[in-house]
């Protein structure tokens, strides 16, 4: 199941807000009582705090986003340092294209 933070970020984006709204105006909390995370503080100007039902509608897209974030991290690591990539492009662009295409095909996004 997707994390609450991801669902809240998608809710913000769907309502024309930015992730910076999350960082500055929203606090999530977990009281370790078995009920999981919840929105403790919501101070987003012009946007009401979402209900649990509203956030539930983001489960699928939030799971996809989280899975793709893992793939992005794997790809970034496999691509290597940007300086090394530029050097590789300069020396042999065809080899670089082949290597990058393999990284992408080995780590497809959803």
Task: Count Cβ atoms within 10 A of the Cβ of residue 42 and give its class: 0-12 exposed, 13-18 middle, 19 or more buried.
Answer: middle
Going residue by residue through the chain (110 aa), what tens digit of pLDDT does each one get?
899 999 999 999 999 999 888 988 999 999 999 999 999 999 999 999 999 999 999 999 999 999 999 999 999 999 999 999 999 999 999 999 999 999 999 999 98
pLDDT of residue 24: 87
pLDDT of residue 6: 97
Sequence spans of domains, the chain: 4-106
pLDDT of residue 1: 83
CB neighbourhood size of 92 (10 A): 12
pTM value is: 0.77
């Amino acid at each position: 199941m997707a994390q609450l933070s991801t669902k809240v970020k998608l809710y913000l984006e769907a309502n024309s807000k930015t992730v910076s709204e999350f960082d500055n105006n929203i606090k999530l909390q977990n009281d370790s009582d078995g009920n999981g995370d919840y929105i403790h503080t919501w101070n987003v100007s012009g946007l009401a705090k979402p209900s649990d039902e509203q956030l539930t509608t983001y489960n699928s897209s939030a799971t996809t986003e989280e899975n793709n974030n893992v793939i992005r991290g794997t790809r970034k690591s496999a691509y290597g340092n940007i300086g090394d990539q530029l050097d590789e492009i300069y020396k042999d662009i065809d080899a670089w294209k082949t290597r990058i295409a393999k990284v992408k095909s080995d780590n497809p996004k959803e």
